[in-house]
Amino acid sequence: MRGKETIVTCESCGRKIPRNKGVSFERSVSFNTELRTANDVRFFERMKVYYCVSCAKHRGIFQKKKEQAMRRSAKKLV
């Protein structure tokens, strides 16, 4: 549909924002039972979370993405 973007919730403050204005960030989560036996269960998951612009600036996510983009462009030049 034109003009209707999916609404997402900011992970930090709970603000409702359109998905195209939110800052996406992949966060890894790990679960384990720590039994140290053969039945030990480990599970790793990557979650895509969204932050509003103000929370992303406060947490420094913009700076991390800028550094990653600079590294990628440097690798392409070499």
46-75 tens-digit pLDDT: 999 999 989 998 888 877 777 888 888 887
Judge contact between 30 and 40, C-beta under 8 A.
no
Query: 13-24, pLDDT tens digit by residue?
Result: 999 999 998 988
| Closest by CA position to 56, among listed 30, 21, 4 | 21
* Prediction pTM value: 0.65
Q: How much is the mean pLDDT over the chain?
A: 85
Residue in the structure block whose two tokens are 């997402």: 8
